[in-house]
């Protein structure tokens, strides 16, 4: 039961990039100050932070204390939640619950990831831990290769042309080129995507999100108190999380990620909306195949017809739903544990009409979709413009 | 990988032991405390079939730590004769011959070794049937 309605009163981000000169804590500090400075004296009661790889790549656990310390906010409670690439979405669900329940009044939800403090092999090794160590990674599977299994199967079952996946990447880069926070803010064409190097066949480099660092923060409070802090805010009208077997082999259907279906249906129900009501969505496109399956699972397109909908312009501004105006994981970037919070910040920005060149006109209802593992941990939120 | 961690997985990873649900007959592999389909806790020991078909595959060219010596190699999703599925390596095959739907059978092979002093890890791979 929801005891109190919850508002997002502020957001802040760093550009996603290879930030060689910034640490885990300084990245978080930058995003947090951006958010804090937009609102009037919020007394923050707690920080919930999403992060996946700090223990492996920065030799650091206890991320909550680090960020509270960085912001001079001790002795408030602060802790990390981890759900692989879905850590940010998990942090949002936790922060929402703390405010909604009345345990705390103002909660900072953040995500931070520092992937470039270690060598490439270690970074891949750490990211791979989103999969099943005993029954997938043991055999030499990589995270990309597990997604490649889905892509190969998808093309086999639906006879989808390979070009459609490349063209989705092209669309994401077209969007991301307008995003000042994007890691890869440039356009590409189909040939570049199709001829990029193989990562795990049939997945090529331009099917994948890049490796980068970043931090994002939003601030939540109860809807009734929101106008104490700011004149413009949005409400989280639906939120849910769901899980699936960590090993993809234990699933009956390889072409649907059931945790997305469950989380989305619960969030739609809570928000009393349907997929048709969503104006703008930030979805979790770690790989182009993840985007295809997720668009279907979220109810934005018919199963197996992602290419048809793509070519009809369904996912562009003015289509059925504007997908990833930020450029998505593909172009904005994917600082893994922060990605879910970037999505929430971007949707807030859209609903407040503050998205600049990325702005989707009159966006009123937005959705975030954040995924850990190959669909094993999924978080969906739905937000609405209040005024 | 530590010896105890490797050792405790031997029944499941090397003998391919699963837990078959006594209530609904679903084969839980890897084994679970409660059946994935019906929640029952009543199981019998069950050895997975040795043959199956390839549902999907991917070719690894950027290997993870410990697999550098063998690239490129093939990761497969195999559906066994009883419908149970697992992730495995597909071996003894030219990568151009790979086809979704092809029949495969189990072989026992070295999977990886943990460097100079680490343990050598063995397990099951699959190869094209009737080789
Ligand atoms: Zn059962």
Please state the ipTM of this predicted complex.
0.94
Residues of chain A found within 8 Å of residue B52, distances taken between Cβ atoms: none
Which residues, 6+ apart, have CB-to-CB distance to A252 below 8 Å? none
Partners of residue B111 in chain A, C-beta under 8 Å: 138-140
The conformational region for residue A128 under phi > 0 = left, psi -120 to 50 = alpha, else beta, is: alpha
The neighbouring-strand residues paired with A236 are A6, A383
Reported as a pLDDT band with limits 50, 70 and 90, residue B65 is confident
In contact, A196 and A208? CB cutoff 8 Å: no
What number of residues does chain B have? 131
pLDDT at A387 over 80: no
Distance B103 CA to ligand 1 centre (A): 28
Mean pLDDT of all residues in A313-328: 96
**A250/B61 Cβ within 8 A:** no
Q: In chain A, which residues have their Cβ closer than 8 Å to the Cβ of B86? A: 135, 249
Using CA atoms, how far apart are residues A277 and A293, in angstroms rounded to an integer?
20
Q: Mean pLDDT across the stretch A238-257?
A: 97
Supply angle C-alpha A353, A354, A359, rounded to 5. 65
pLDDT at A223: 97
Residue of B101, B71, B106, B114 whose CA lies nearest to B90: B106
- Which of B14, B35, B36, B56 to substitute to test the interface with A, most A CBs within 10 Å? B56
A18, two tokens: 């290879």
**Catalytic pick from A19, A173, A284, A334?**
A334
The average pLDDT across A56-80 equals 97
The CA distance from A15 to A193, in Å, is: 24
Predicted confidence band at A377 (pLDDT cuts at 50, 70, 90)? very high
Find out whether the peptide bond into B102 is cis, omega within 30 degrees of 0.
no
Query: Which of A85, A208, A221, A301 is an active site residue?
Result: A85
Asked whether the beta carbons of residue A139 and residue B121 sit closer than 8 angstroms, the reply is no
On whether any CB of chain B is under 8 Å from the CB of A199, the answer is yes
The model's pLDDT over B68-108, given as tens digits with 9 standing for 90+, comes to 878 899 999 999 999 999 999 999 999 999 999 999 999 99
Which chain A residues have a beta carbon less than 8 Å from that of B61? 198-201
pLDDT, residue A166, reads 98
Angstrom CA distances, B16 to B25, B88, B107, B124, stand at 17, 12, 12, 8
- Are the Cβ atoms of B58 and A145 closer than 8 angstroms? yes
What's the confidence (pLDDT) of residue A82?
Answer: 98
Closest by Cβ to A134, choosing from B9, B70, B85: B9
Helix A288-297 and helix A258-271, axial crossing angle in degrees, nearest 10: 50
Beta bridge partners of B80: B52
Please indicate whether, in this complex, the C-beta atoms of A200 and B60 are within 8 angstroms of each other.
Answer: yes
CA of B58 vs chain A CAs: smallest distance (Å)? 5
Of A135, A152, A248, the CB nearest to B57: A152
Mean pLDDT of B20-37: 97
Lowest mean pLDDT among A86-95, B81-90, B121-130: B121-130
% residues pLDDT > 70 (chain A) = 100
The confidence score (pLDDT) of residue B70 equals: 81
**Structure pTM?**
0.97
For the cut 60, the answer to whether the pLDDT of residue B118 exceeds it is yes
Told to judge if A85 belongs to the known catalytic residues of this protein, a careful annotator would answer yes
pLDDT band at residue B9 using 50, 70 and 90 as cut-offs: confident
Token pair 């199967």: residue: A153
Minimum distance, in Å, between the CA of residue B41 and any CA atom of chain A: 18
CA separation for the pair A77, A68 (Å, rounded): 8
Band (pLDDT 50/70/90 cuts) for residue A122 is: confident
> Given A121, A145, A250, which is nearest B36 (Cβ)?
A250
Predicted confidence at residue B18, as pLDDT, reads 96
**Where does the pLDDT of residue A11 fall: very low under 50, low under 70, confident under 90, or very high at 90 and above?**
very high
Q: Which of A2-11, A117-126, B35-44 has the lowest mean pLDDT?
A: A117-126
pLDDT at A309: 98
Average pLDDT of A314-338? 97
The answer to whether A208 contacts chain B (CB < 8 Å) is no
pLDDT band at B131, cuts 50/70/90?
A: low
**Residue B117 pLDDT class (50, 70, 90 cuts):** low
Q: What is the Cα–Cα distance from B69 to B3, expressed in whole angstroms?
A: 22
DSSP β-ladder status, A365-372 and A280-282: parallel
How far apart CA A282 and CA A355 sit, in angstroms, is 13
Q: CB contact, 8 Å: A250 with chain B?
A: yes
Q: What DSSP assignment string belongs to A13-36? A: EPPPB--TT--HHHHHHHHHHHHH
Structure confidence at residue A118 (pLDDT): 84
Nearest CB partner across the interface for A138, out of B29, B63, B111: B111
Helix, strand, coil percentages (3-state) for chain A, rounded to 5, are 40, 20, 40
* Number of CB pairs, chain A paired with chain B, less than 8 A apart: 108
Query: How far is residue B96's CA from residue B79's CA, in Å, rounded to a whole number?
Result: 21
pLDDT-derived band at B115, boundaries 50, 70, 90: low
Q: How far is CA A142 from CA A135, A256, A373, B67, in A?
A: 12, 20, 11, 11
Query: Is A284 tagged catalytic?
Result: no
B106: left (phi over 0), alpha (psi -120 to 50) or beta: beta
Please give the residue that has the higher pLDDT: either B122 or A345.
A345
Confidence class for position B121, pLDDT limits 50, 70, 90: confident
Nearest CA to A369 out of A276, A277, A240, A245 is that of A240
Query: What is the model's pLDDT at position B64?
Result: 86
């Amino acid at each position: 039961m929801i005891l109190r309605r919850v508002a997002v009163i502020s957001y802040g981000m760093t550009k996603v990039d290879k930030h060689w000169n910034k640490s885990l804590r300084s990245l978080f500090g930058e995003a947090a100050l951006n958010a804090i400075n937009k609102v009037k004296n919020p007394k923050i009661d707690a920080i919930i932070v999403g992060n996946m790889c700090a223990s492996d790549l920065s030799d650091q656990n206890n991320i909550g204390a680090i960020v509270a310390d960085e912001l001079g906010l001790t002795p408030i409670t602060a802790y990390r939640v981890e759900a692989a690439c879905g850590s940010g979405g998990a942090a949002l669900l936790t922060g929402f619950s703390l405010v909604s329940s009345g345990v705390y009044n103002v909660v900072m939800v953040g995500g931070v990831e520092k992937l470039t403090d270690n060598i490439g092999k270690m970074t891949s090794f750490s990211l791979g831990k989103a999969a099943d160590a005993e029954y997938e990674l043991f055999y030499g599977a990589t995270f990309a290769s597990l997604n490649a299994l889905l892509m190969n199967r998808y093309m086999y079952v639906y006879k989808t042309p390979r070009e459609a996946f490349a063209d989705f990447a092209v669309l994401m880069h077209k969007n991301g080129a307008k995003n000042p926070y994007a890691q890869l803010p440039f356009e590409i064409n189909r040939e570049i995507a199709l001829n990029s190097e193989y990562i795990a066949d049939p997945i090529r480099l331009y099917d994948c999100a890049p490796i980068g660092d970043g931090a994002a923060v939003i601030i939540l409070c109860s809807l009734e108190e929101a106008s104490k802090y700011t004149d413009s805010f949005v409400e989280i009208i639906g939120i849910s999380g769901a899980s699936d077997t960590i090993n993809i082999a234990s699933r009956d259907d390889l072409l649907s990620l059931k945790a997305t279906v469950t989380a989305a249906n619960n969030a739609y129900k809570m928000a009393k909306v349907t997929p048709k009501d969503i104006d703008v969505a930030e979805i979790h496109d770690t790989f182009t195949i993840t985007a295809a399956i997720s668009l279907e699972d979220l109810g934005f397109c018919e199963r197996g017809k992602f290419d048809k909908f793509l070519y009809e312009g369904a996912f562009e501004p003015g289509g059925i739903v504007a997908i990833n105006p930020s450029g998505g994981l593909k172009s904005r970037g994917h600082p893994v544990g922060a990605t879910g919070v970037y999505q929430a910040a971007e949707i807030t920005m859209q609903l407040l009409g503050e998205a600049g060149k990325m702005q989707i006109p009159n966006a009123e209802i937005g959705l975030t979709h954040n995924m850990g593992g190959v669909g094993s941990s999924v978080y969906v939120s739905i937000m609405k413009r209040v005024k | 990988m530590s010896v105890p961690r490797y050792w405790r997985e031997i029944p499941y990873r090397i003998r391919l032991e699963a837990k078959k649900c006594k209530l609904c007959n679903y084969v839980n592999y890897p084994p679970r405390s409660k059946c994935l389909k019906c929640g029952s806790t009543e199981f019998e020991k069950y050895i997975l079939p040795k043959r199956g078909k390839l549902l999907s595959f991917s070719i690894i060219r950027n290997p993870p730590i410990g697999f550098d010596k063998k690239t490129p190699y093939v990761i497969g999703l195999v559906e066994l004769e009883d419908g149970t599925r697992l992730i495995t390596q597909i071996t003894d095959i030219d990568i151009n011959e790979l086809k979704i739907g092809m029949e495969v059978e189990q072989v026992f092979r070295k999977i990886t070794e943990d460097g100079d002093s680490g343990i050598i890890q063995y397990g099951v791979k699959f190869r094209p049937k009737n080789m």
